[in-house]
């Protein structure tokens, strides 16, 4: 016999997605470990695991959206979802803290490289921070402003037109940022002697800025999904946790880039 719910919490039904997500992550990691030393079918295992992880993400989040539309996301549940997003962003803060730690450590206390008995100082072409890096900084800041415009349009008056336009502009600027970063990497690798391996300075630069670029790609996809959902009328001024999560993530990406710009490009140069 069915009973009416007398609490504000959402009790989840048994789900296969956590198990499949863990399995996909394991296959992807195992494939990456085999891929690095070019052993066996490493690349294929990595791609199979990645495909499984992406499928789980799509299916699982689709269920979360369906729960929201069904009214299961009560105010208490929405608070829990926001706490989850905050904890995720805090884990990302610690992730980037590791790269900043490595960067500052080796900039202030560099390790010497010897060839035989002679110390060889690596030749590093310093990047002009007020060229392409400054342009990318302005692009991300403008993208964050466009997203704030969209957020304001949603919560103050439910202006669907400005919501969509702000999201479109934010996504477009994020895509342009990614294109410029690809162009910068090409110039550094082809003409300026940078390498993905070898010197710790190169490794720190590419790991910090490269992972940030990866986050820009993920954030752009996140915002694009929000745009599709806005087209379908999913968000309301009172119920838009998915949009808030995307906005918080994007602003986090903006702030990390500001630290990278001032630390790596200006101070490091």
Q: Is pLDDT larger for residue 211 or for residue 192?
A: 211
What pLDDT is recorded for position 196?
Answer: 79
Contact 56, 24 (CB under 8 A): yes
14: helix, strand or coil: coil
Q: What 8-state DSSP symbol labels residue 199?
A: S
What pLDDT is recorded for position 122?
Answer: 61
Q: What is the pLDDT of residues 123-132, one digit of tens each?
A: 677 788 899 9
Mean pLDDT (whole number) for 13-21: 92
Q: What is the pLDDT of residues 149-198, one digit of tens each?
A: 999 999 988 888 999 999 999 999 999 999 999 999 999 888 888 887 76
Q: What is the DSSP string of 41-81?
A: THHHHHHHHHHHHHHHHHHHHHHHHHHHHTT---HHHHHHH
Domains in the chain, please, with CATH?
14-72 (1.10.287.70), 74-267 (1.20.120.80)
Nearest to 219 by CA among 142, 263, 167: 167
pTM of the complete model: 0.87
Q: What is the pLDDT of residues 104-114, one digit of tens each?
A: 988 887 766 55
- CA–CA distance, 233 with 240 (Å, rounded to integer): 11
Assess whether pLDDT exceeds 60 at residue 238.
yes
Q: What is the DSSP string of 96-165?
A: HHHHHHHHHHHHHSPPP-EETTEE-PPP-----TTTHHHHHHHHHHHHHHHHHHHHHHHHTT--HHHHHH
Nearest to 204 by CA among 94, 91, 89, 105: 105
What pLDDT is recorded for position 121?
Answer: 57
């Amino acid at each position: 016999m069915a009973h009416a719910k007398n609490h504000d919490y959402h009790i989840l039904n048994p789900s296969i997605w956590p198990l499949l997500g863990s399995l996909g992550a394991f296959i992807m990691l195992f494939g990456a470990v085999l891929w690095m030393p070019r052993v066996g079918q490493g690349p294929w295992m990595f791609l199979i695991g990645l495909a499984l992880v992406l499928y789980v993400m799509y299916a699982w989040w689709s269920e979360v959206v369906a729960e929201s539309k069904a009214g299961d996301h009560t105010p208490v549940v929405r608070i829990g979802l926001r706490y989850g997003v905050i904890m995720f962003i805090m884990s990302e803060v610690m992730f980037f803290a590791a790269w900043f730690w490595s960067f500052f450590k080796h900039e202030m206390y560099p390790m010497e490289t010897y060839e035989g008995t002679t110390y060889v100082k690596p030749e590093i072409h310093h990047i002009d921070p007020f060229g392409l890096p400054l342009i990318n900084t302005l692009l991300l800041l403008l993208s964050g402003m466009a997203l704030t415009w969209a957020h304001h349009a949603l919560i103050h008056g439910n202006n669907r037109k400005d919501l969509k336009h702000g999201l479109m502009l934010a996504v477009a600027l994020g895509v342009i940022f990614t294109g410029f970063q690809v162009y910068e990497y090409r110039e550094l690798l082809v003409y300026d002697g940078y390498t993905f391996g070898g010197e710790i300075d190169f490794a720190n630069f590419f790991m910090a800025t490269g992972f940030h670029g990866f986050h820009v790609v993920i954030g752009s996809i996140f915002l694009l999904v929000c745009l599709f959902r806005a087209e379908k009328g999913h968000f309301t001024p009172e119920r838009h946790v998915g949009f808030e999560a995307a906005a918080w993530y994007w602003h986090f990406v903006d702030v990390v880039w500001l630290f990278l710009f001032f630390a790596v490009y200006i101070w490091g140069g």
